[in-house]
Amino acid sequence: MRIWNGSYGSELLDPLIHLANQVGIEERIDQAINVNLSVNEANQWIAVPGPVIVGAGPSGLAVAACLKEKGIPSVILERSHFIASLWQLKTYDRLHLHIPKHFCQLPLMPFPESFPTYPSRAQFVRYLEAYARRFNIRPVFNSTVVSAEFDPRSELWRVHTVGSDGSLTKYVSRWLVGATGVNAEESVPGIGGMDEFKGPVIHTSSYKCGEIFQGQRVLVIGCGNSGMEVCLDLCNHNARPSMVVREGVHVLPREILGWSTFGLSSWLLKFLPVRVADRFLLCISRLMLGNTELHGLKRPKLGPLELKSLSGKTPVLDVGALARIKSGDIQIFPAVKRLTAHGAEFVDGRLESFDAIILATGYRSNLHTWLKGGRELSKGWKWERGLYSAGFSMQGLMGTSVDAQKIADDIGRCWVHGFSVL
């Protein structure tokens, strides 16, 4: 058994110093890891005095920083080999934050004044790297959590990881924080004929820039913020994009009368019922953008804020794609019936040729793959038996900050010093 020394981001191989005065601790850890282990097996276990955090995205970093501020060490386990893997690996070059920076900053460290209102992806990553440096957060990289399970006998969490070299490590802790995000895995729908299509089919997570599609007819399946922005990027690189709009979509201007639409919506919701706020937003959008339905962008029955709160579906904040739809540079199609060798057949009977397909079909959580007990962790931050979640409240980075501070405050209330709280 080894002990994690959070303050130095390393393991301390002399646990006796920490355990000497902790009556009953050794028995509880022994129970959690099963007493009859060989020395080698026992050395696979690491006892973490503070919480184990799964995921080194913005949420995991924010929780670790808030804990650090209270003098509470933690360990972050991250499957990738750097922080914020979604932002570094799976986003396209032209991406900027969709909502203004002051709604996206993490606790205890604002964005630099010099950053624009909507920082670019590269600026956001730079900010996160500076954040990790400032709070001396050093995650354990290449460490995929494959299971986390509460042991009722010892009342401790047992967390198993697999390294990129296949090595197994096991952690034991009183607290577990799930911070693997709602965008952990690509959502890829089953579309008939996908195997027949001869051109490339990629998910937006692999899309970087439209340059390689120059002159090509590209079908973008999905019309959320990513689908719209990828279409715009394709136009800007002289490709010929078409976009599938299967159900309705709310397109709103990114700013209204000098306010960010996000900020205005949050403000309206303080005073008005959601349906009234929605009606107001839709009226203004109609005045500013015209009737989007005339261009094939049918609006859903529920308003944008009500839809977001009930289903998590985010409205599109337009950054220029709508103008290219109106001009005909981006064509709109209904749902795909099936793909063919060189194109697609749509539910309205049209048959079109395409050179490439981009799936802007979103992401999903992977909690069910590693958190034992079938917990969903949506719309909340505190669960039973020392289990917390950050970044699952469907409030984006603003929700992340709120969750992180609440989690640190809650753990701080029962943290005395090191292992004495176990």
Residues that bind ligand FAD (CB under 6 A): 54-60, 77-80, 84-86, 91, 95, 97-99, 104, 144-145, 179-181, 183-184, 226, 366, 370, 391, 396-397, 400
Is the distance from CB of 60 to CB of 137 less than 8 angstroms? Answer: no
**Residue 123 or residue 344: which is nearer to ligand FAD going by CB?**
123
* Coil, strand or helix at 360: coil
CA dihedral sign, ordered 296, 299, 305, 309? negative
**Residue 77 or residue 191: which is nearer to ligand FAD going by CB?**
77
Q: How far is the CB of 258 from ligand FAD (least distance, A)?
A: 19
Residues 229, 336: Cα–Cα separation, whole Å: 20
**Residue 226 or residue 285: which is nearer to ligand FAD going by CB?**
226
Q: How far is the CB of 91 from ligand FAD (least distance, A)?
A: 5
CB burial of residue 32 (10 Å; 0-12, 13-18, 19+)? buried
Q: How far is the CB of 115 from ligand FAD (least distance, A)?
A: 13
Q: Which residue sits closest to ligand FAD, CB atoms considered?
A: 57
**Residue 91 or residue 261: which is nearer to ligand FAD going by CB?**
91
Q: Name the DSSP class of 8.
A: G
Q: How far is the CB of 54 from ligand FAD (least distance, A)?
A: 5
Task: Tabulate helix, strand, coil % of the chain (nearest 5).
Answer: 35, 25, 45
Q: How far is the CB of 16 from ligand FAD (least distance, A)?
A: 30
**Residue 179 or residue 277: which is nearer to ligand FAD going by CB?**
179
Question: Any residues with CB less than 8 A from the CB of 266 and at least 6 apart, and which?
Answer: none
Is the distance from CB of 149 to CB of 157 less than 8 angstroms? Answer: yes
What is the CA 287 to chain-centroid distance, rounded? 33
Pairing of strands 176-178, 387-389: parallel
Q: How far is the CB of 160 from ligand FAD (least distance, A)?
A: 10
Q: How far is the CB of 139 from ligand FAD (least distance, A)?
A: 9
Which residue type is seen at 362? G
CB burial of residue 14 (10 Å; 0-12, 13-18, 19+)? exposed
Q: How far is the CB of 175 from ligand FAD (least distance, A)?
A: 16
**Residue 162 or residue 194: which is nearer to ligand FAD going by CB?**
162
Q: How far is the CB of 128 from ligand FAD (least distance, A)?
A: 9
**Residue 224 or residue 300: which is nearer to ligand FAD going by CB?**
224
Backbone angles phi, psi at 28, to 5 degrees: -65, -40
Tokens 């051109």 -> residue: 199
Is the distance from CB of 76 to CB of 137 less than 8 angstroms? Answer: yes
Q: How many residues does the chain have?
A: 422
Residues 279, 215: Cα–Cα separation, whole Å: 41
Residues 214, 237: Cα–Cα separation, whole Å: 6
Q: How far is the CB of 398 from ligand FAD (least distance, A)?
A: 6
Is the distance from CB of 109 to CB of 134 less than 8 angstroms? Answer: yes
**Residue 210 or residue 396: which is nearer to ligand FAD going by CB?**
396
